[in-house]
Amino acid sequence: MDELDPVIHAQARLRIVSALATLDPGESITFPRLLELLDMTAGNLSTHLRKLEEAEYVLVTKSHQGRTPVTYLELSKAGRRAFEDYLEQLRGLLGGAS
Amino acid sequence: MTENQRDKPLDDEAPLDPAAMLAIVEHQQRSITNQMGGFVPVMTAVWGAAWLLGFGTLFAQQVTGFPLWIAIVVFVLLLLGAAAISTVFGIRAGRGIRASWQSRFTGTVYGVTWSFGSLALSAIGGGLMYNGMSDALAQHFYPAIYLFFIGIMYIIAGAIWPTVFTIVSGGQLVLIGVISLFIPQPFHLLFLALAAGLGFFVLAVLHRVGQKRPARG
């Protein structure tokens, strides 16, 4: 059995990736809305998002609503695939329970 | 774990055993779904109230004989009010989310179909009346055909944005509309008030209970 992906296999990042995986492919969410849904601190969310972005699991898009800058976040294809592989591995470790 | 567990910076890097990590995934995804769709039971209850009071007013008009236009205005205002509340809930739930091009296209076509279909049904009713449908038959036809349409739109919504709850709600409306055609006037209006109104209240309670059920694992 391969080792579990260390980028996802950490509680906070697993919560972030699980949340982003509920969005449809191509959908993205603003940083404040994700913060609200996860109930994390802004600093902690930023730190873990940076690690996910460095691993190219999360895409960060900067945009503007009027004059206000908005940051949108979404799982990349690689991130979604890594999350699915991770879940499969976990279920495998648990004896195939779904 | 609480509904919105505040993470702890010192230990949130530490992985837990596989069962606990899988539980985090299930809990987090359920929490997101509940936060985004937490309004659904309230919205369903609002529609239950609109159906109950709206059809109840039409029934009361038939029994007591107050002017029909008053009953129709009350009915339409109740439905418009419920639609407005649904729209506000939907906009609030979707805040901060940027939909994909496909999602926006699907949403727009679905939204326009509501207006287009409602107008088409109104025209079909008008055409039937032009061709001799009596007022008495129209009182059976309009509620049944609109409930049928609304029910089908619910089912389509449940298929596009997979939700069994929406499909069941839609199926319930279609059935109620069809059954109402076989109930004599004016009691079909009482049936519509009770079946659609109370039926939606029951669905609202069931949905709320489902949201509160803890995640497995």
Q: Out of B12, B14, B18, whose CB is closest to A93?
A: B18
- In CATH, what number is assigned to the domain containing residue A62? 1.10.10.10
List the beta bridge partners of residue B119.
none
Question: Which pTM does this prediction carry?
Answer: 0.77
Asked whether residue A44 is assigned to any structural domain, the reply reads yes
Parallel/antiparallel/unpaired status of strands A68-75 and A28-30? antiparallel
CB contact under 8 A, A18 and B95: no
CB contact under 8 A, A26 and B103: yes
B98: enclosing H helix or E strand: strand B97-98
In tens, the pLDDT along A2-22 reads: 688 999 999 999 999 999 999
Q: Sorting pLDDT into bands at 50, 70 and 90, what band is A98?
A: very low
Question: What's the mean pLDDT in B52-62?
Answer: 95
Asked whether residue A69 is assigned to any structural domain, the reply reads yes
The whole-chain average pLDDT of chain B stands at 88
Asked whether residue B44 is assigned to any structural domain, the reply reads yes
**ipTM, interface predicted TM-score of the complex:** 0.89
Q: Can you spell out the DSSP letters for A10-40?
A: SHHHHHHHHHHHTSPTT-EEEHHHHHHHHT-
User: Helix (H, G, I), strand (E, B), or coil: what is residue A61?
Assistant: strand
Asked whether residue A90 is assigned to any structural domain, the reply reads no
Asked whether residue A5 is assigned to any structural domain, the reply reads no
With beta carbons under 8 A apart, name residues in chain A contacting B12: 10-12, 44, 48
> Which residue segment(s) compose the domain that B80 sits in?
38-212
Asked whether residue B10 is assigned to any structural domain, the reply reads no
A73: closest CA among A42, A49, A41? A49
pLDDT the model gives residue B1: 44
Asked whether residue A3 is assigned to any structural domain, the reply reads no
Asked whether residue B11 is assigned to any structural domain, the reply reads no
Asked whether residue B28 is assigned to any structural domain, the reply reads no
Q: Out of B5, B29, B102, whose CB is closest to A39?
A: B5
In tens, the pLDDT along B160-212 reads: 988 888 899 899 999 999 999 999 999 999 999 999 999 889 989 988 887 77
> Which residue segment(s) compose the domain that A51 sits in?
11-84
Work out how many domains chain A is built from and give that number.
1
Asked whether residue B191 is assigned to any structural domain, the reply reads yes
Which residues numbered 5-24 in B keep a CB inside 8 Å of some CB on A? 5-7, 9, 11-16, 18-19, 21-22, 24
CB contact under 8 A, A11 and B18: no
Q: Out of A14, A28, A30, whose CB is closest to B25?
A: A14
Question: What's the mean pLDDT in B153-160?
Answer: 94
Work out how many domains chain B is built from and give that number.
1
